[in-house]
Amino acid sequence: MRISILLVLMFLLLCPRYAMSQANSKNICSLKDRLFVQQVNDININPQNYKDKVIQIEGFFAKYKDGKNVERYSVYRRTAGCCGFDGSVGFEFVYKKGKLNFKEDDWIYVEAHIAKSKNEVYDYDYIYLDAISVVQKDKGKAKEFVN
Protein backbone atom coordinates (compact mmCIF):
# COMPACT_ATOMS: atom_id res chain seq x y z
CA MET A 1 0.00 0.00 0.00
CA ARG A 2 2.79 2.43 0.94
CA ILE A 3 4.62 1.64 -2.29
CA SER A 4 1.49 2.40 -4.34
CA ILE A 5 1.02 5.73 -2.62
CA LEU A 6 4.69 6.53 -3.09
CA LEU A 7 4.49 5.69 -6.80
CA VAL A 8 1.38 7.84 -7.24
CA LEU A 9 3.06 10.76 -5.47
CA MET A 10 6.19 10.40 -7.59
CA PHE A 11 4.06 10.33 -10.75
CA LEU A 12 2.16 13.46 -9.69
CA LEU A 13 5.35 15.31 -8.86
CA LEU A 14 7.38 14.28 -11.88
CA CYS A 15 4.72 14.22 -14.60
CA PRO A 16 4.26 18.01 -14.86
CA ARG A 17 8.04 18.50 -15.16
CA TYR A 18 8.25 15.85 -17.87
CA ALA A 19 5.29 17.35 -19.72
CA MET A 20 6.83 20.82 -19.48
CA SER A 21 10.20 19.66 -20.79
CA GLN A 22 8.46 17.88 -23.68
CA ALA A 23 6.43 21.00 -24.51
CA ASN A 24 9.57 23.17 -24.46
CA SER A 25 11.54 20.78 -26.65
CA LYS A 26 8.74 20.72 -29.24
CA ASN A 27 9.32 24.45 -29.81
CA ILE A 28 13.03 24.01 -30.53
CA CYS A 29 14.65 22.62 -33.66
CA SER A 30 18.35 22.01 -33.11
CA LEU A 31 20.29 21.28 -36.29
CA LYS A 32 22.77 18.51 -35.47
CA ASP A 33 25.86 17.30 -37.34
CA ARG A 34 24.46 14.02 -38.55
CA LEU A 35 21.31 15.38 -40.27
CA PHE A 36 22.44 18.96 -40.88
CA VAL A 37 21.96 19.02 -44.66
CA GLN A 38 18.63 17.19 -44.48
CA GLN A 39 17.30 19.53 -41.78
CA VAL A 40 18.33 22.67 -43.69
CA ASN A 41 16.65 21.28 -46.81
CA ASP A 42 13.47 20.39 -44.90
CA ILE A 43 13.25 23.88 -43.40
CA ASN A 44 13.58 25.39 -46.88
CA ILE A 45 10.99 23.04 -48.39
CA ASN A 46 8.52 23.09 -45.47
CA PRO A 47 8.98 26.42 -43.64
CA GLN A 48 5.38 26.28 -42.37
CA ASN A 49 6.40 23.34 -40.13
CA TYR A 50 8.99 25.51 -38.38
CA LYS A 51 7.22 28.88 -38.09
CA ASP A 52 6.65 28.63 -34.32
CA LYS A 53 9.99 27.00 -33.51
CA VAL A 54 13.31 28.40 -32.38
CA ILE A 55 16.01 27.19 -34.76
CA GLN A 56 19.36 26.44 -33.13
CA ILE A 57 22.25 26.26 -35.58
CA GLU A 58 25.99 26.53 -35.33
CA GLY A 59 28.63 26.82 -37.97
CA PHE A 60 31.00 29.18 -39.72
CA PHE A 61 30.28 32.91 -39.89
CA ALA A 62 30.29 34.76 -43.20
CA LYS A 63 29.65 38.42 -43.94
CA TYR A 64 29.08 39.85 -47.40
CA LYS A 65 27.28 42.66 -49.23
CA ASP A 66 24.34 42.08 -51.53
CA GLY A 67 23.62 43.82 -54.85
CA LYS A 68 22.26 46.86 -53.00
CA ASN A 69 25.41 47.10 -50.85
CA VAL A 70 23.52 45.91 -47.73
CA GLU A 71 25.61 43.87 -45.30
CA ARG A 72 24.38 40.28 -44.98
CA TYR A 73 25.36 37.46 -42.63
CA SER A 74 25.24 33.68 -42.89
CA VAL A 75 25.89 30.65 -40.72
CA TYR A 76 26.98 27.59 -42.67
CA ARG A 77 28.90 24.32 -42.79
CA ARG A 78 31.07 23.00 -45.56
CA THR A 79 29.74 20.12 -47.65
CA ALA A 80 30.28 18.21 -50.85
CA GLY A 81 30.24 20.25 -54.02
CA CYS A 82 31.37 19.68 -57.56
CA CYS A 83 35.06 19.27 -56.70
CA GLY A 84 35.19 17.68 -53.24
CA PHE A 85 34.13 19.56 -50.11
CA ASP A 86 33.86 22.96 -51.77
CA GLY A 87 30.12 23.45 -51.18
CA SER A 88 28.32 25.09 -48.27
CA VAL A 89 24.94 24.66 -46.61
CA GLY A 90 23.27 26.88 -44.04
CA PHE A 91 21.19 30.03 -43.77
CA GLU A 92 21.43 33.72 -44.33
CA PHE A 93 20.35 35.56 -41.20
CA VAL A 94 19.52 39.06 -40.01
CA TYR A 95 20.45 40.39 -36.60
CA LYS A 96 18.54 43.53 -35.62
CA LYS A 97 20.26 44.13 -32.27
CA GLY A 98 23.43 45.64 -33.70
CA LYS A 99 26.36 45.01 -35.99
CA LEU A 100 28.21 41.69 -35.75
CA ASN A 101 31.99 41.94 -35.65
CA PHE A 102 32.99 38.30 -35.96
CA LYS A 103 35.78 37.36 -38.32
CA GLU A 104 35.19 35.30 -41.43
CA ASP A 105 35.05 31.58 -40.49
CA ASP A 106 34.59 32.21 -36.75
CA TRP A 107 32.44 29.43 -35.28
CA ILE A 108 29.09 30.86 -34.12
CA TYR A 109 25.88 29.66 -32.48
CA VAL A 110 22.60 31.23 -33.62
CA GLU A 111 19.09 30.99 -32.18
CA ALA A 112 16.48 32.32 -34.58
CA HIS A 113 12.99 32.17 -36.02
CA ILE A 114 12.24 31.33 -39.64
CA ALA A 115 11.41 34.31 -41.83
CA LYS A 116 10.44 34.59 -45.48
CA SER A 117 11.04 37.37 -47.97
CA LYS A 118 10.43 37.97 -51.63
CA ASN A 119 13.30 38.49 -54.02
CA GLU A 120 12.02 41.41 -56.06
CA VAL A 121 14.52 41.04 -58.87
CA TYR A 122 13.90 37.35 -59.63
CA ASP A 123 10.37 37.13 -58.15
CA TYR A 124 10.72 34.20 -55.75
CA ASP A 125 10.36 33.67 -52.00
CA TYR A 126 13.40 32.75 -49.95
CA ILE A 127 13.86 31.59 -46.37
CA TYR A 128 16.24 33.23 -43.93
CA LEU A 129 16.67 33.34 -40.15
CA ASP A 130 15.64 36.26 -37.95
CA ALA A 131 18.27 35.90 -35.21
CA ILE A 132 17.33 36.20 -31.54
CA SER A 133 20.92 35.72 -30.39
CA VAL A 134 24.30 35.19 -32.03
CA VAL A 135 27.38 34.26 -30.03
CA GLN A 136 30.86 33.06 -30.83
CA LYS A 137 31.42 29.53 -29.64
CA ASP A 138 34.20 26.99 -29.36
CA LYS A 139 33.63 24.42 -32.10
CA GLY A 140 34.33 21.52 -29.78
CA LYS A 141 33.46 18.23 -31.50
CA ALA A 142 31.07 19.73 -34.05
CA LYS A 143 31.80 18.77 -37.64
CA GLU A 144 33.03 21.39 -40.09
CA PHE A 145 32.10 19.15 -43.03
CA VAL A 146 28.62 17.62 -43.28
CA ASN A 147 26.90 15.54 -45.92
Residue 63 confidence class, pLDDT cut points 50, 70, 90: very high
pTM of the model: 0.77
Residue 9 confidence class, pLDDT cut points 50, 70, 90: very low
With b for 16 or more beta-carbon neighbours within 10 A and e for fewer, the 10-37 pattern comes to eeeeeeeeeeeeeeeeeeebebeeeebb
DSSP string for residues in 30-51 = E--STTHHHHHHHHHH-GGGGT
Q: What angle do CA 100, 81, 67 make, to 5 degrees?
A: 45
The verdict on 102 and 51 lying in the same domain is yes
Residue 43 confidence class, pLDDT cut points 50, 70, 90: very high
The verdict on 12 and 1 lying in the same domain is yes
The verdict on 45 and 107 lying in the same domain is yes
The verdict on 38 and 106 lying in the same domain is yes
The verdict on 18 and 35 lying in the same domain is no
Residue 20 structural domain: 1-28
